[in-house]
Structure 1
Amino acid sequence: MTSADIDAMTPLRIRRAAAGVLGVAVLAAAGCGGSDGDESRPDPARPPSGVRWQPYQGVPLPVTDQGPKNDSEGAATGFDHDPPGAAVAAITHSVRLSVATDGQWSTVVARELVPGPARDEWSVNRVQLSITGPAAEQYAPRVLGYRVTEYTQDRSSVDVYTEYSDGSRAVNHTTVEWFAEDWRLRLPDPDAITRPVDAIDQLPADVVTLEAPT
């Protein structure tokens, strides 16, 4: 399946929202150095702990020890300032933005996205749509895993791997930033020429997988 096929089968609300499909990412916790004064480095391969799954608009989302700790009016906030927190935030924000209802999307935008031109353009496009119920089963993505490609205390890049009901798979390239004391999603620049979503045949060997939703 080509990238064009993924675009054709995926609703506008999912592609434009957080860059298409959902998504999940992992980064590892930052720690203090030992008695010798050396700083320990975050391990991007360390997964979040205490993973359980809760549906949002028909899509199972992970809730972990690292967040989200608050869920109000459709917006999920409160993520630990470490790699696992950033990873779960990337997944959570991408999905909620994609499938939030008409009565909730503005709250999701205000609390889960980094302000900027991309957020403004997304909001203008979202006004032209109407989502009143859960995502259709054939379009609802299932999170398979994630891979952190870059991590700092201020900004993290996370590849989120998802699968659709027809068996096709895709990777969503996401970015979260530490803003207002929480991880928020930064949408791609409207003028960017790079694709935020790519079709894939198989998962990379170093992907961090999550237990399957039940």
Structure 2
Amino acid sequence: MLTGAVGCGGGEAAAPPDLSVPPTNVRWQPFQGVPLPRADQGPTTETDGAATGFEHSPAGAGVAAMVHAVRLSVADDSQWSNIAAREVVPGPAKDEWAVNRVQVSISGPADPVYAPRLLGYRITEYTDQRAVVDVYSEYSDSSKAVNHTAVEWFAHDWRLRLPDPESTARPIEPVGEIPSDAVKVEAPK
């Protein structure tokens, strides 16, 4: 006679991750004149301008979104192709971005007048494979903007998913203030 209990595979569902946990031990490192965060959650490696090695967590996704969006925007002519190869998910959006980027020349650091100062992020959707992250910045005229980004867990790292070339959604929009539930990761002034 069997008297012991046999466990079921069902059990309780795991609690959803806390999207408001900030990155830890944040330091700031300039890239092309823009201070970018480096935290315990990443990046752990920088090679030829590309920042990689982000923790597979909400905070890792948030830092990756901030870092990748800015690096891709301000990379100079010698860096952009390596950054795109290591920080962006392959596909038609990346291909179209590369075709357009070839037509632009960036030879030095960002002009401080146009360089963003990162203020933080808010994760609006999160799974282990994808995060939708709003990245908030401030500019020298005190205006603020939100950059709607997405990162995907690809090749064991968070990489930027560029918007679909057919999308009509605005990836960057002005904002009056940063939402109170945003994770503050504020660059020095």
TM-score, length-scaled by structure 2: 0.92
Paired with 2:179 and 2:152, the residues of 1 have a C-alpha distance of 25
Structure 1 runs, 4 residues or longer, greater than 3 Å off: none
Q: Which of 85, 99, 112 does residue 60 from structure 2 map onto? A: 85
For the pair 1:52 / 2:27, whether they are aligned, the reply is: yes
Q: For each residue in 1:132-155, what CA deviation from the matched residue of structure 2 results, as whole angstroms up to 9, or x when unmatched? A: 100001000001111110100000
Identify unmatched segments of 5+ residues in structure 1.
Answer: 1-35
Alignment of 1:13-24 (within 5 A): none
Partner secondary structure for residue 35 of structure 2: strand
Q: Which of 88, 91, 95 does residue 116 from structure 1 map onto? A: 91
Q: Which of 167, 185, 189 does residue 210 from structure 1 map onto? A: 185
TM-score, length-scaled by structure 1: 0.81
Q: For each residue in 1:170-211, what CA deviation from the matched residue of structure 2 results, as whole angstroms up to 9, or x when unmatched? A: 000000000011000000011101111111111112111124
Identify unmatched segments of 5+ residues in structure 2.
Answer: 1-10
Q: Which has the higher Rg, Structure 1 or Structure 2?
A: 2
Partner of 1:20: none
Alignment of 1:60-75 (within 5 A): 60-75=35-50
Number of aligned pairs?
A: 179
Deviation of 1:92 (Å): 0.6
Cα RMSD for the two superposed structures: 1.2
Partner of 1:142: 117
Paired with 2:42 and 2:153, the residues of 1 have a C-alpha distance of 14
Paired with 1:45 and 1:168, the residues of 2 have a C-alpha distance of 24
State, as a whole percentage, how many aligned pairs show the same letter: 63
For the pair 1:133 / 2:105, whether they are aligned, the reply is: no
Partner of 1:102: 77
For the pair 1:176 / 2:176, whether they are aligned, the reply is: no
Q: Is the 8 A contact 2:35 2:187 kept in 1?
A: no
Partner secondary structure for residue 29 of structure 2: strand
Deviation of 1:40 (Å): 3.1
Q: Is the 8 A contact 2:52 2:157 kept in 1?
A: yes
Q: Which has the higher contact order (CA 8 A, sep 6+)?
A: 1
Partner secondary structure for residue 120 of structure 1: helix
Deviation of 1:37 (Å): 5.8
Paired with 1:157 and 1:212, the residues of 2 have a C-alpha distance of 21
For the pair 1:196 / 2:171, whether they are aligned, the reply is: yes
AA paired with 1:99? V
Paired with 1:213 and 1:202, the residues of 2 have a C-alpha distance of 18
Greater share of helix residues, 1 or 2? 1
